[in-house]
Amino acid sequence: MLRSFFFARQSIRAKIFLAFSCVTALSLMAVSAVLYIHMSGEATRNATRFASDNLRHSNEVMQMILEDVDRINTVVVADSGSVDVIAALRSDAFDPSYEWFREKQGVTALLTNLIAYKTPITSIAVVGLNGKMYTSGTPEWVEKQRLTDDAIRQVSEGAGKHVYILRRGADGEPEALMVGRPIHYNNRPIGAVITELDYRQIERIYQAGLTPGVANDVVAQDGRIIVSGNPQLPADAALHTLAAEPPAVPKASSRIVINGERYITVSSAMPYAGWTAQSAIPVRTLLPRYQQLRLQMAETAAAVFLAVLIVSMGVAAGITRNLRRLYQDIQHVKQGRMTVRASIRTKDEVGHLYRAFSGMVEQLKVLMNDIKRGERQKREAELQALQAQVGPHFLYNTLNSIKYLARLRHASNIEETVASLIDLLRAVLGNTKEFVTLREELDYVQAYLNIQKLRFNNRIEARIRIDPELYGCVLPKMIVQPIVENAMIHGLAPLRQGGTLAIEGFRDGGFLVVSVTDDGVGMSGDQIERLLRKGGTEGSGRSSFSGIGIANVRERIRMTCGPESQLQISSVQGEFTTVKLRLPLAEGEGACDAARAVGG
């Protein structure tokens, strides 16, 4: 049954069902995909926004701490009050002299007061290049172990700037961040003041409030790692290079792959220390709750799709029910029974189709009756035509007899005239072609002129100048001869001394132009208007051979050659008249069909 429903005859019902199914499936997939992408993008934006705000806040807190340390170190270097640190470093008093003890007591008291109640600061030390050391927060012997010669050298060569050194313990783990500033006298370094910050507190500042799996890193401008929140990340140089050298145009976020896992990174610069804080958010941690939503969306889409399938089957059956009834009626009519049995009253397209089909059947009945009547009339017309053939045949035979007698009596002018008359009669009565070549049309004109020679006693001179290349052009039959006839009867006949008739033909672009000019009596504007008026009698009176007037010629070329064809008349009374035909160029038998198509 399903095979019959879906595949038999490729039914419209099956196509409607499949169309419903495909459209619904694609729509559900598109909506689900757009919704999921939007939610995923919103989750990513929320995560990056939160990470960016967290980094900015952490940088602000850290900068406040560093500014506080900067003020403390500045006080130590620049203080010239009751305790002069520079003087103590430059004095010649060393352990165990009394003077050295007093200096140490004063400097130590100053340092203790400066770092009192400063939670992140664990110790402060003033170290001279001459070996003197004053500390607060940790014993001097501890500081001597921590402050290596390399660290003191880095600070003293800092050119007046703060130097940040990450101090690590014996196990290699970070213990403190040393912030040092050199002490100068007469533009020469004589020592350094070094303040230590608790690394765990700095780490808590940057790791506070992070979601599981997210890690913050802080990297110095030279690429040194200040804070590493994820043990896997320091091994990846690309991340720290990115953090140490932020792009010229800051990006909201970027994506990187570390050890095969995808991360979204968000950076925030702290120009004060030359650091860049960067948060690495694993992509897998962003959308766990939306995976359940994706499953729910898939289940909902499947349920909706199933419901649409059931509805579409019912809709398809309802639509095709009337189509099947209409098909049965069509088969009924095909068998020759011109009756419509179904009655479909719906106002949809099927109902319109049924009413159109019913009307067509009624029209077919009328047409079949008309065909029967036409066939009967055709048989009657064929019988009449057969009877009418006796008249023209008798006329041709009679004229041929006259032509033969004229030849016997050596009356060449009569023989030529009768031959021309026979040719014209055959053109009018015997030739059923609607289109002829220009060569044939000129033969008709020449036959007519031969007849007129006898009438006008050779008083009229005819000149024909046609480009031989145009002889094959196709045009409607008997359109040049009526123009020549009109020129002879109305232009040249009234002249006593005779006249000249000029017939010219040439190509003008894609058109054939044939002009007929006589130097007869000419015409006024009113005469031209009457001549061109449809139904006018100029040129179609009893003296006319073809009975075709100029107005008739103009209508014929418009009907057969299209609206581009033209017939123009120009005349000056007492001087000349020119009738010009302008027809689209056409050659060969195919051109006749083309001309008929244009005319039809």
Which pLDDT score, from 0 to 100, does residue 295 have? 78
Q: Is the pTM of this model over 0.75?
A: no
Q: Are 498 and 492 in contact (CB under 8 A)?
A: yes
Residue 162 is which amino acid?
H
Which pLDDT score, from 0 to 100, does residue 379 have? 66
Which pLDDT score, from 0 to 100, does residue 546 have? 54
Mean pLDDT in order along the chain per 10 residues (600 residues) = 47 71 80 77 81 88 90 78 76 80 84 84 86 78 64 72 81 85 84 88 83 78 76 47 46 71 84 84 72 76 80 73 75 73 70 77 81 75 52 58 64 66 66 82 86 78 90 90 88 85 92 93 88 58 58 86 89 92 73 41
Which pLDDT score, from 0 to 100, does residue 311 have? 78
Which pLDDT score, from 0 to 100, does residue 356 have? 79
Which pLDDT score, from 0 to 100, does residue 398 have? 59
Distance CA 291, CA 479 (A): 87
Which pLDDT score, from 0 to 100, does residue 544 have? 54
Residue 308 has, within 13 A of its CA and on its CB side, a CA count of 19
Burial zone of 239 (CB within 10 Å; 0-12 exposed, 13-18 middle, 19+ buried): buried
Domains of the chain, by residue range, sit at 79-201, 343-387, 433-599
Helix (H, G, I), strand (E, B) or coil at 512: strand
Q: For domain 79-201, give the CATH superfamily.
A: PAS domain (3.30.450.20)
Which pLDDT score, from 0 to 100, does residue 396 have? 59
H/E run at residue 279? strand 275-282
The contacts of residue 418 (CB under 8 Å, 6+ apart) are 399, 402, 403, 406
Count of CB atoms situated within 10 Å of the CB of 557: 23
Domain 433-599 CATH class label:
alpha beta
Which pLDDT score, from 0 to 100, does residue 252 have? 53
Distance CA 445, CA 450 (A): 9
User: 347-380 burial, b for 16+ CB within 10 Å, e for fewer?
Assistant: eeebeeebeebbeebeeeeeeeeeeeeeeeeeee
Which pLDDT score, from 0 to 100, does residue 600 have? 37
Q: Are 152 and 192 in contact (CB under 8 A)?
A: yes
Which pLDDT score, from 0 to 100, does residue 518 have? 93
